[in-house]
Every structure is written in structure tokens, then in C-alpha cells.
């Protein structure tokens, strides 16, 4: 596990974007595992900027997103498909046909979960998986549980996640209660994992995830067992890791 400390959110975003850009340059037809949430937004902005400057192309890249709310169509402003279009896909030369987000509207959720697993398998797996982290340690939408769900599946969102996501919706009633997410097994199979964390509100869960026991009560703790994990965080989010003596590089 490598930990990179950035001075602030902007620097963190730039560092994360450079790791993604390096992946794309080294393997132009790579498979990127992409994430939503507020933390990766700055990294996407930076990637768009490099694309516009002519320094980066996504022409041959395929992507698979971690998750999607159930019941939201792809053109709903709070759906994760919409998020990806607005924050990245609409602004770069990626082929939209090569971008994958689970369907939140599938009538048969089980069939959709299986289809999504096959999409990942047919692509040959994920080269680099970008991850944010929920305040309760969730990754994708794998919430704290009594075991680690392996494959793509439907989840009931934790009350704290519903509350945290409410800020994006007009009213509490509109916040979806369920989502479809890649499982922990799907995430673990990624060749490389890049975790982005920002702000003091994440310091505690970052510490628990990477210094505490590996437990499905803190889903991100499974990443301790992954052979190639990079964490990029700002000072505030990494504060407790550093206090615990985990080596960090600037």
C-alpha cells in the first residue's frame, strides 16, 4: 500500500488524475473502473483539462462504473450515469459505447447483476479501479455487513448513506433506498486500486479501514489484502493514518 499526501483537495485531485493518466498512456485500451461521489470530481476535471490540452486521449479506453441507484433513469440528474456524462464522458473522446454503468431500471435486477459481471469478465478485468469511501467505510455501495458480498448485487442503502446522499436531492423522499453495486470480489479483482480521500470527516474511517482489522463491518478494510493499492489523500483525511505511524510520501 502506498500513501500519497497532498496539501489540499486540488493537489490531491491532480495527483489522482496523474495516476489515471499514466495508466491510460501506458495502456491506451485499458479498462478503468470509475467512481462517483464528490471526492473524484476534481480528478475528473483535471483529466478533462489534459484532454483539452491534447495531452491525453480516452479513445480506446473502456470503463465500468462501480454502482447505480435503483429506480433512476440514466438521464436523471442524480443518477450515476448522468454524473459520469457530466463530469467526464461528455468532455473527452471516450466512446460512450465502451462506458458501462449498471442499469438502475432493469426489471430483473438479478439478470442485470449477472450481465454486469459478464461485461467485466469479457473486458478482461479492470486495470485500475478508482474508489472513494463512504463515512462508514463503504466502497461502491458495499455497506457494512456481516460478510463481504462477492459479485454485483442489489443493496439496501444504510441510513447514514441515505442521509449523506440527501444533499443532492430536493427532498428526503426522493433519495433512493436501494442501489446496484459491484461486489467486493469484483473490486478485489482489479489489477490496481486507487483510493481518493479528502477532508477531516474521512480521517477516522481512513484510519479504521487501513489500520484496523479486516472486517465486513468496514468494507474498505478488504483493500489491506489487495497487492496494489494507492491512497491519495489530503492532509486532513490522512491525519490519523499518519499519527498511527503509517509512512506517507508527499
Residue 231 vs residues 6, 131, 209: alpha-carbon distances, Å: 11, 9, 11
Residue 163 corresponds to which cell in the numbers above? 442521509
Kindly state whether residue 39 participates in binding ligand GLP, applying the rule CB under 6 A: yes
Does residue 67 have an active-site annotation? yes
Does residue 122 have an active-site annotation? no
Number of residues this chain uses to bind ligand GLP (CB under 6 A): 13
- The three-point CA angle 24-26-31 to 5° equals 45
Interacting stretch for ligand GLP, rule CB under 6 A, among 7-15, 42-50, 85-93, 132-140? 132-140
Minimum distance from CB of 65 to ligand GLP (Å)? 9
- For residue 232, the cross-strand partners are 4, 196
Minimum distance from CB of 122 to ligand GLP (Å)? 23
Report 41-70 residues binding ligand GLP (CB under 6 A): 66-67
Cα gap 196→158, rounded to integer Å: 21
Q: Which of 87, 138, 153, 234 does the annotation list as catalytic?
A: 138
Cα gap 153→151, rounded to integer Å: 6
Please report how the helices 80-87 and 41-52 are oriented relative to each other, as an axis angle in degrees rounded to 10: 40
Q: Of the candidates 31, 20, 226, 36, which has an alpha carbon nearest to the alpha carbon of residue 121?
A: 31
Which of 29, 38, 73, 163 is the binder for ligand GLP (CB under 6 A)?
38
Q: Of the candidates 9, 16, 51, which has an alpha carbon nearest to the alpha carbon of residue 35?
A: 16
Interacting stretch for ligand GLP, rule CB under 6 A, among 31-39, 120-128, 207-215, 217-225? 31-39
Kindly state whether residue 133 participates in binding ligand GLP, applying the rule CB under 6 A: yes
Kindly state whether residue 236 participates in binding ligand GLP, applying the rule CB under 6 A: no
Report 154-173 residues binding ligand GLP (CB under 6 A): 161
Active-site residues: which are they? 67, 136, 138, 143
Amino acid at each position: 500500500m502506498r500513501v500519497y499526501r497532498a496539501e489540499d483537495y486540488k493537489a490531491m485531485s491532480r495527483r489522482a488524475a496523474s495516476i489515471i493518466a499514466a495508466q491510460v498512456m501506458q495502456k491506451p485500451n485499458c479498462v478503468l473502473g470509475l467512481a462517483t461521489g464528490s471526492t473524484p470530481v476534481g480528478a475528473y476535471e483535471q483529466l478533462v483539462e489534459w484532454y483539452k490540452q491534447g495531452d491525453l486521449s480516452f479513445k480506446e479506453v473502456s470503463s465500468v462504473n462501480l454502482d447505480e441507484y435503483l429506480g433512476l433513469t440514466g438521464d436523471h440528474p442524480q443518477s450515476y450515469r448522468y454524473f459520469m456524462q457530466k463530469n467526464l464522458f461528455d468532455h473527452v473522446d471516450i466512446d460512450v459505447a465502451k462506458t458501462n454503468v449498471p442499469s438502475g431500471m432493469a426489471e430483473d435486477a438479478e439478470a442485470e447483476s449477472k450481465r454486469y459481471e459478464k461485461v467485466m469478465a469479457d473486458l478482461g478485468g479492470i486495470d485500475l479501479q478508482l474508489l472513494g469511501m463512504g463515512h462508514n467505510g463503504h466502497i461502491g455501495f458495499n455497506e457494512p455487513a456481516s460478510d463481504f458480498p462477492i459479485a454485483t448485487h442489489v443493496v439496501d442503502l444504510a441510513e447514514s448513506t441515505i442521509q449523506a446522499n440527501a444533499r443532492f436531492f430536493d427532498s428526503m423522499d426522493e433519495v433512493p433506498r436501494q442501489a446496484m453495486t459491484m461486489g467486493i470480489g469484483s473490486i478485489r479483482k482489479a489489477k490496481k486500486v486507487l483510493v481518493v480521500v479528502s477532508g477531516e470527516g474521512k480521517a477516522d474511517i481512513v484510519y479504521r479501514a487501513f489500520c484496523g482489522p479486516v472486517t465486513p463491518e468496514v468494507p474498505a478494510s478488504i483493500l489491506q489484502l489487495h497487492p496494489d493499492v494507492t491512497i491519495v489523500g489530503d492532509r486532513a483525511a490522512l491525519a490519523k493514518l499518519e499519527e498511527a505511524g503509517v509512512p506517507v510520501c508527499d
